[in-house]
Copies of this chain bind each other. A is one copy, B any other.
Amino acid sequence: MIDIQSLVNDLNAVRAKSPLVHNITNYVVMNNTANGLLALGASPVMAHSLEEAAEMASIASALVINIGTLEPQWVEAMLLAGKTALSKNIPVVFDPVGAGATSYRTRVCKQIIEECRPTIIRGNASEIMALHQANIKTKGVDSTDSSDIAVSSAQSLALQTGAVVVVSGQTDYITDGKNTQTVENGNPMMARVTGMGCTATAVVAAFAAVDPDALQAAVHGMAVMGIAGEIASGKSRGNGSLQVNFLDELYNLDETAIKNIIK
């Protein structure tokens, strides 16, 4: 059960403080991620050069690492920024895009988790299962999409890594390994907008920037995504208008809309 007042307080805190969220993310979603953070009231910056990744991470209130279009030089910058953030207690939110699709992705994910110790990891069911399997190295590739299996993978991954783990899907599961919460808002059309998950990761990072309770920050971020996405989907004819309407709903989200829509 989500405490609405606590969610609204965090949303207001993001808008009041406009935390700087440093993103080392992929080419496909940069524009939308930046606009998502601006719609929410946060302040995005994208910077991936080794020359400035550590300095930028140092002045940020949260760091997003997203491997969607990874390459070796970018991974170096992710590790540098992530370790800098870790050493300064700045929350790191990790999005393991496509984990399991190629061996390179799975290997890089493992390295980022080990060296940067993310505060929060957010992925879809198959990404979280791939990470968990990579970690325990005992199972082959699992093709099932069952959310039950993803939940138990998420819980194990959380216990192994110390991160709060988010599995997004029809129901979003958010767990620290012991306590598992759910967010039931959203709409299947959201999966047809590229980078909606990447925006979720950045929104969660904005909440982590203002709320030191990582489990609660992740629940609040996913709830805001689901509520804005659900309202926007009801007004959209397809993924083009949904991408636009989602930003408008995030921009206008208030306590009344949250109370009316939250499940």
List the interface of chain A (C-beta within 8 A of B): 26-32, 34-35, 38-39, 44-52, 55-56, 59, 68-73, 98, 101-105, 192-195, 236-241, 243-252
Knowing that A35-B243, A47-B102, A49-B70 are A-B contacts, what are 17 other residue pairs whose CB atoms are under 8 Å apart, sorted by A's residue number? A31-B31, A31-B32, A35-B193, A38-B192, A38-B193, A39-B192, A39-B239, A39-B240, A48-B69, A48-B71, A49-B104, A55-B102, A237-B248, A237-B251, A238-B248, A238-B250, A241-B248
Residues of B within 8 A of A47 (CB): 69, 98, 102
The answer to whether A31 touches B34 (Cβ under 8 A) is no
Residues of B within 8 A of A31 (CB): 28-29, 31-32, 194-195
CB nearest to A98 among chain B residues: B45
CB distance from A17 to the nearest CB of B (A): 16
CB distance from A196 to the nearest CB of B (A): 10
The answer to whether B49 touches A27 (Cβ under 8 A) is no
The answer to whether A239 touches B192 (Cβ under 8 A) is no
The answer to whether A45 touches B239 (Cβ under 8 A) is no
Given the interface pairs A27-B30, A51-B72, A55-B104, the reply to whether A239 lies near B243 with Cβ below 8 Å is no
The answer to whether B250 touches A105 (Cβ under 8 A) is no
CB nearest to A47 among chain B residues: B69
Residues of B within 8 A of A49 (CB): 69-72, 104
> How far apart sit A33 and B101, CA to CA, in the bound complex (Å)?
20
> How far apart sit A46 and B195, CA to CA, in the bound complex (Å)?
12
> How far apart sit A37 and B64, CA to CA, in the bound complex (Å)?
26
Closest 5 CB pairs of A and B: A240-B247, A238-B251, A238-B248, A34-B194, A49-B71
> How far apart sit A91 and B248, CA to CA, in the bound complex (Å)?
37
The answer to whether B238 touches A249 (Cβ under 8 A) is yes
Residues of B within 8 A of A70 (CB): 49
CB nearest to A20 among chain B residues: B101
Residue in B48, B55, B240, B246 whose CB lies within 8 Å of A248:
B240
The answer to whether A46 touches B34 (Cβ under 8 A) is no
Among A28, A50, A239, the one with the most B-chain Cβ atoms within 10 Å of its Cβ is A28
